[in-house]
Structure 1
Amino acid sequence: MTLSEIIRCTHSEAGEIETALPCQLTTLRPASTRNGKPYLDVEFSDGTASEKIKIWQDSSAYDQCHDLEAGDCAQLEGRFWRNQFGLNIDNLRVRPLTHEEEAALFSGTPERQAKLAADMLFIDDTVAALTDPRLRLLCQTFLTQFGERFRRAAAARSYHHARRGGLLDHTSQMMRAAVALRAVYPSVNWDLVIAGVLFHDCGKLWENDYEPQGFNSPLTTIGELLGHITIGIELVNRLWRTLDADPVFQNAGTPPKESVREHLLHLIASHHGQREFGAPVTPRTPEGWMLHYIDNIDARFEMLAMTYSEKGQTAPGIYEHRPPLEGRAIAPLPHWTE
């Protein structure tokens, strides 16, 4: 059973489940209450979700965690349940994972592996079909040089797709939406939009990177100082300069390559849509607005999906609030059936 499944179960009417969970301890920190009662503050993840628990000193698991530290992998076994303070595990037993169990944990479930492989293949195929040879070469060069990092990065730290491989989930779904909309808006430069989809969050390879083997995403100086938009603009400029002497870039086709670069940079700079949401500029082109709305739609649908899977209902069909959504999410209307 995965952690996301445990979370859904503890929010359901059943409310509890006895199970064992292989996971990585991303945080393990000694702490104490104001009254001086010691406990361990533990955050853990299995790649499908993250959770926090407190392990109190009078628990046998407190001693079992004595030789463990943040980054270690362990199996948490017990009765998982939830109250107003969060997740709890009664009769908790903790043991380190074997090397074989660690390898299986970081590989993900077979379903997760298959999904990520299909997403990556879709991106590769979509990029290969771009008609502008400069954008095609730029995108393929990025995927060749940074593909491994791209496949493991998160799209965010909390709001949406905040997991290992989350950026690949987000980018591939946005690209599917772009492909689906091409016939509806034929005047849009879809080569530019698809390149914008690939590069709009490319700075998160440094802002939200994951360790090669792990579910921990440490903060980085460059991510904190510059943010993913600035990093993304710098990355595209650097890749462009390295390719500028390539025969593909020397082709005298239209639009001029400098205009292509400027418009692609604009998509990265404006994709948040509004200055109050971190955009240095607002969208000024059809492609800029298209990218912004595709990005926003996929992020919002992910937030709703996480609300339905992680939050309980305060009343029938009304879910507990999950930031940054405005207000409480409502259960969707089912499809019509006879």
Structure 2
Amino acid sequence: MESKVYVSQLREGMAIDSYFVVAEKELLDFKTKPGRYLQVKFKDRTGDIWGKCWDEAIETAELFEVGDVVRVRGDISSYSGRLQLLFTRKGISREESYDIKHFIESTPADVDALYAQLHTICSSFSNEHLRALLLSYFDDPAFQEAFKQAPGAKSHHHNYLGGLIEHTHSVTFICRTMAKLYPSLDKELLLVGALLHDVGKLKSYDVGVLIDITPEGGLFDHVVLSYEWIKVSIDAIDGFPRELSRRLLHIILSHHGHREWGAPVEPMIPEASVLAHADLLDSQTSEFLKVMKELSQDTFTAWSGYSRRLGKYIYLGEEE
């Protein structure tokens, strides 16, 4: 196998021989002549690039499926300001031997240390019902293993291995700070919401060489999956106060803040509002920094290209 060339290293005019995972493929009609061409989205841990095969499109499409790792030999060109990879039927083949780390990004954070900090917080709760609820998750070895490795999303913020625990850790510590600034908040109610608000993501994603959405994740969304899982856990704890359950489940359901952002209900208690803002703060900050890092590699000006994910241009700064 040839040495890996990453998407982030591709430049116009390069002839490449490398391997990528097939994220999407589609046959499209030519606009100015009869026939069809093949368009493929190639992806690795650093990004993605669209590839085009102009000839023998149908035959080439039959050589691989979405989710396959393929070796591609082709040329990098530019069209409408975006790089594309041009290849032929003879220039693409399935690759059976590969290192998954080339395709799925992992958090640089120490996930064992993050988990230990979260577990210490769970064990420190004075409310016995909330402590029992939290430890029913964080004392479970299967939950621990899954939680440390799970991505936080498929394509948006924290969409890499370990992204879920990284996001949960950040949101929890934002909420701890807010509880210090506003002592009238129910600190433990807020923190249990922060610690558990995204547990449904463990049931929302399948991870291989791609992060994909499970049927449950697509049909119900992680917010509903989190609510259902936590409700079952609450029901298994003897004497769990009804009002406490009601408030906690509301926090879980409303943590996206607005209905148009996927929240079944909007925050109606202060702890729910704080969690929704903490979740948004961490997700947007992470996404902003990620987009800046990606765009800064492809520009030599103070301004980035337009980011569709953020809906704006990004100021990257000028060299002194």
TM-score by structure 1 length?
0.73
| Fraction of identical pairs, as percent | 22
Are 2:262 and 1:309 aligned?
no
Mapping of residues 267-306 of structure 1, within 5 Å: 267-306=251-290
Q: CA RMSD in A?
A: 3.9
Mapping of residues 23-172 of structure 1, within 5 Å: 23-34=20-31, 35-57=33-55, 67-76=63-72, 80=76, 82-84=78-80, 86-89=82-85, 93-99=91-97, 101-105=98-102, 112=107, 115-143=110-138, 144=140, 145-172=142-169
- SS of 1:259's partner is helix
- Which of the pair is proportionally richer in strand? 2
Residue 210 of structure 1 and its aligned partner are, at CA, apart by: 1.8
Residue 73 of structure 1 and its aligned partner are, at CA, apart by: 1.8
TM-score by structure 2 length?
0.76
Q: Are residues 306 and 185 of structure 1, via their aligned partners in 2, closer, same or farther at CA, if it must alter by over 3 Å? A: same
* Count of aligned pairs: 312
Residue 273 of structure 1 and its aligned partner are, at CA, apart by: 1.8
Are 2:223 and 1:229 aligned?
yes
Residue 141 of structure 1 and its aligned partner are, at CA, apart by: 2.5
Query: Which residue number corresponds to residue 191 of structure 1?
Result: 188
Q: Is the 8 A contact 2:16 2:76 kept in 1?
A: yes
CA distance in 1, matches of 2:268, 2:229: 22
Query: Which residue number corresponds to residue 239 of structure 1?
Result: 233
Are 2:212 and 1:217 aligned?
yes
Q: Are residues 179 and 31 of structure 1, via their aligned partners in 2, closer, same or farther at CA, if it must alter by over 3 Å? A: same
- SS of 2:221's partner is helix
Q: Is the 8 A contact 1:27 1:43 kept in 2?
A: yes
Q: Is the 8 A contact 2:12 2:83 kept in 1?
A: no
CA distance in 1, matches of 2:18, 2:192: 39
Residue 66 of structure 1 and its aligned partner are, at CA, apart by: 5.4
Residue 295 of structure 1 and its aligned partner are, at CA, apart by: 0.7
Residue 54 of structure 1 and its aligned partner are, at CA, apart by: 2.4
Which one scores higher on RCO, CA 8 angstroms, separation ≥ 6?
Answer: 1
Q: Is the 8 A contact 1:233 1:268 kept in 2?
A: yes
The one-character-per-residue Cα deviations of 1:229-270 (angstroms, maximum 9, x if unpaired) are: 22221111111123x24xxxx5xxxxx632322221111122
